[in-house]
Amino acid sequence: MSEELNKTYSPNEIEDKWYKIWEENGYFNAQHNAEKPGYSIAIPPPNVTGILHMGHMLNNSIQDAIIRFKRMSGFDALWIPGMDHAGIATQNKVERMLKEEGTSKEEIGYDEFLRRTWEWKEKHGGLITKQLRKLGVSLDWSRERFTMDEGLSDAVKEVFIKLYNDGLIYRGEYIVNWCPFDKTALADDEVDHTDENGKIWEIKYKIKDSDDYVIIATTRPETMLGDTGVAVNPNDERYKDLVGKKVILPLMNREIPVVADEYVDMEFGTGVVKMTPSHDPNDFEVAKRTGLEFINIFTEDAHVNSNGGKYEGLDRYEARDAILADLEKEGLLVGVKEHNHAVGHCYRCNSVIEPRVSTQWFVKMKPLAKRALEVVKNGQIKITPQRWEKVYYNWLENIRDWTISRQIWWGHRIPAYYAQDGTVFVAKNLEDAKKQAKEKFGVETELTEEKDVLDTWFSSALWPFSTLGWPKETEDLKKFFPTDALVTGADILFFWVARMVMMSLYIKDEIPFSYVYLHGIIRDELGRKMSKSLGNSPDPLDLIAKYGADAIRFSFLYNTSQGQDIHFSEKLIEMGSTFANKVWNASRFVLSNLEDFDSNAKIDSSEFKLEDRWILSKLQNTARQVNESFEKYELDTAAKLAYEFFRGNFCDWYVEIAKTRVYGQEGRDKTVAQYVLKTVLDKGLKMLHPFMPFITEEIWQKLDLGEETIMLSDFPKEEKEFVNLEAEKEFDFLKEIVNAIRNIRGEANVSPAKKIEVIFKTVNDAEKNILQHNAKILDKLANVEKYEFNTEIPKLVGFKLVETTEIYVPLNDLIDKEKEIDKLTKNIEKTEKELNKVLGKLSNEKFLSKAPKEVIDKEKGIKEELENKIAKFKESINLYKN
């Protein structure tokens, strides 16, 4: 006995209901079942400040489909949830809140600021995890982590200390990327470079004790306040005599030396380059090689400091305008050219980066990168799409040291302490640091804690093992590490993926995952990235409310080939929505016809009809292919296979045929059809479940199979005893016959509702036998009232050929001859106009003498094709007239 479904499919009703049941019953939770192998995925942790966007929808739909499949395939499956503290982004949020209150972090102080930030996190942070539930994600919420929770904070300290003690972390004064808005250093890969139209200004620098000048070309004239030299290429004959001399820095009247360095490009500008070592990374390196002085001219927020003379207090761009005006007034500005160049922007706030010398903490990356390269090259870690492996190699082979210190308050404070003489002690806490100091100095020593915090990506790099309890040796760590797959966007291949590989190999001596699935970007119909500023990014929650999560998930997964971008439109989701309704309505038919079915009935395979054997065999083949596709992480292929089976084979064919066996019928044939309907619906829903969890659970529960939830049932596997290739071949032949008859109807404009007669001609006994034994199917699916074999063929017929069987549909009594003749006459007139154009070309001597041979041949081919069409139209007219 099965329950009926509501007449109308209402996704919002069932989705909220089922998610609550799943979560409350702990169905998402890994169980540490010793009989099941472990399988795990760690979520790319969304920012605590984040809200659900289209990229999250795609990323989490992929992960959820994988984890649901594995859970149903006999694995103790764990999908680890969590959030990132998002240092800069969260601090910005809280600072804006304080500004609205009329105060600032500086006014309330460090401790109060942290208290307010934690308060903000508890109240406003983590909204995205609530929103993700609307999508149906089966994350193990009992194991949710946060990058600044106690366990992960311990892991961060442990790794930092180990890296420091192994000589892989150091502190030093270097030039870094500085964000003037966030007032912090950034790593190289946190800077977005965009090509912008700018200018090159040419400025005179007077040579000391001479009336001569050198011309300097610069894109940033404001930095000249910090010039400590000019450089030329030692191989540049024009300037050999200048090396060792001094020039006078304009406006500042400071003497600066001329140095030689091969870094200078003799072809760029004038071949003489100003050196601002504190504000340009290349100049910084030249200064180290040549001994130039370092002068910092900017404050943390990119205003000119006291080293800038009369320009002190001006913003960098205000200073630029003032300096250019003064240079022009003094006749020192000799030229301006348009120039397109790459400008670095902060990846968080989009402010223009200002290179700046400062004391920072760094990780030596080359030693860590070596093994991270090896494990991808030797296949231990597979990255898909494969083209990204080359990008991964290129970054690691040219890697620079990672700036890990940030000058903000929210984050993991660097576990370092300073004595008054500057000696550094790296330790988990002040007490341990004091012990180190006492061992070194022999007396109790006052220590000051480091104020900088770690780059947010530092804690994220530990994510695959820190979330499982490391540095403790937990049961989760033993069973679920290494994790199996990582699903993320290619845009964080360096920020996150590569660093996780490096840290995992360094700390655990194991890879963090074996498979990296890099998905594409969701773009709009014009191919643009979605953004609020463009107004082309719909609110995912609005889409879920309108279409349901299942429709969106299925549409995304059906259309997501590995690494390929999705061009989004609501039409895409309408496809998933239409399919969901199809699943609902077909299931409703099946369930409504199982009321009198005896679930204990024993069915012998000899009782199966051709359509039963066919659909059960198709089910096995589909199950095998869907399993294979999931194992290869080809989710779009798996979705297409499940769709084609359920919508095409089951709904469009088997269900339609089964209606003749269950409507108003009784007896054994009905029972067999009911058995097959129930079996196929059960397995079909299970194959769809990873893609459409809500609707499949709702329907499957009505089958009353004695299990708690579809998500913990067994995913269909191929059952060899039901594979019947002969039945598939026979039924596929029957399908082609039906389609051929339908096509004849369509071509002749014969209504599908009209009963027709068919004449078959065949010398193939097997084909004849199939047709003779399936009159009911031909009647139900092609509305064939009667058919005969090898009788006389009338003049006016529709004709098709399937295998060796000729199909004739007598049309004399089915069509309006005058109407068809009129239509064909119009077709002839239209085609003759097209033909006359082509004949005109082919009779034009000018065209024939100038056009290439392939163009003339193409026109001749079109002529022949049009003439054949006209001949066929005339032939049809003659048939109707006779």
| CATH classification at residue 739 | 3.30.2320.20
Is the residue at 698 inside a domain? yes
pLDDT band at 423, cuts 50/70/90?
Answer: very high
The pLDDT of residue 3 is: 66
| pLDDT, tens digit, 9 for 90 and up, residues 445-457 | 999 999 999 999 9
518 touches 492 (CB < 8 A): no
Residues 717, 597: one domain?
Answer: yes
Query: How many domains does the structure of the chain reveal?
Result: 4
Is residue 617 included in any domain, yes or no?
Answer: yes
Given 350, 376, 411, which residue is the final one in a domain? 350
Q: Are 84 and 456 in contact (CB under 8 A)?
A: yes
Q: What's 666's domain CATH number?
A: 1.10.730.10
Residues 564 and 666 in one domain: yes
Residues 612 and 696 in one domain: yes
CB-CB contact of 862 with 831 (8 Å): no
Same-domain pairing of 214 and 326: yes
Last residue of a domain, one of 350, 369, 395: 350
Q: What stretch of H or E contains 236?
A: none
CA atoms within 13 A on the CB side of 679: 21
Does residue 375 contact residue 396 with C-beta atoms inside 8 Å?
A: no
| Side chain identity at residue 365, one-letter code | M
Tokens of 804: 């060796």
- The count of other CB atoms within 10 Å of the CB of residue 648 is 13
Residue 404 lies in a domain: no
Which of 666, 689, 723 terminates a domain? The answer is 723
Distance (Å, whole) CA 817 – CA 526 = 48
Q: What's residue 1's pLDDT?
A: 46
Question: Do 560 and 708 belong together in one domain?
Answer: yes
Same domain, 612 and 577: yes
Which segment of 30-39, 292-301, 694-703, 739-748 scores lowest on mean pLDDT? Answer: 739-748
pLDDT at 600: 83
pLDDT above 80: residue 419: yes
CA dist., res. 186 & res. 356, Å (int): 11
Residue 383 has pLDDT above 70, yes or no: yes
Q: Reduced to 3 states, what is the DSSP secondary structure of residue 324?
A: helix
Does residue 782 share a domain with residue 736?
Answer: yes
**What's the average model confidence in pLDDT over 355-373?**
94
**Residue 367 within any structural domain of the chain:** no
**Residue 509 is assigned to a structural domain of this protein:** no
Same domain? 741 vs 858: no
Any binding-site annotation on 532? yes
The CATH number assigned to the domain holding 339 equals: 3.90.740.10
- DSSP letter string, 391-447: HHHHHHHT---EE-EES-SSS-B--EEE-TT--EEE-SSHHHHHHHHHHHHSS----
The Cα angle at residue 137 between residues 136 and 139, in degrees rounded to 5: 140
Q: What is the pLDDT of residue 272?
A: 92
Write the CB contacts of 518 (distance below 8 Å, at least 6 apart in sequence): 383, 384, 385, 388, 488, 489, 490, 493, 562, 563
For residue 776, give its domain range: 728-810
Q: What would the mean pLDDT of 66-92 be, rounded to a whole number?
A: 95
Instruction: Say whether both 788 and 849 belong to one domain.
Output: no
Query: Six-digit token pair at 787?
Result: 């058919």
**Confidence band of 882 (pLDDT split at 50, 70, 90):** low
- SS in 3 state form for 61-99? HHHHHHHHHHHHCCCEEEEECEEECCHHHHHHHHHHHHH
Tell me, yes or no, whether 709 and 734 share the same domain. Answer: no
Look at residue 42 and tell me if it is in a domain: no
Please tell me the pTM assigned to this model. 0.84
Residue of 421, 397, 396, 416 lying closest to 405 (CA atoms): 416
Share of the chain above pLDDT 70, in %: 99
* pLDDT above 90 for 125: no
Instruction: Flag whether 501 is in a domain.
Output: no
Tell me the three-class secondary structure of 819-868, residue by residue.
HHHHHHHHHHHHHHHHHHHHHHHHCCHHHHHHCCHHHHHHHHHHHHHHHH
- CB within 8 Å of 21: residues ≥ 6 apart: 709
Q: How confident is the model at residue 719 (pLDDT cuts 50, 70, 90)?
A: very high
Q: pLDDT (tens digit, 9 = 90+) per residue, 501-557?
A: 999 999 999 999 999 999 988 988 888 887 766 778 889 999 999 999 999 999 999
DSSP 670-683: HHHHHHHHHHHHHH
* 673 and 575 part of one domain: yes
d(CA 487, CA 497): 10
Residue 155 lies in a domain: no
pLDDT band at 11 (very low <50, low <70, confident <90, very high): very high
Write down the mean pLDDT value for the chain. 92
Apex CA 520: angle with CA 516 and CA 525, to 5°?
Answer: 170
Judge if 695 and 748 occupy the same domain. Answer: no
What pLDDT is recorded for position 534?
Answer: 75
Question: Which residue is listed with tokens 């102080």?
Answer: 109
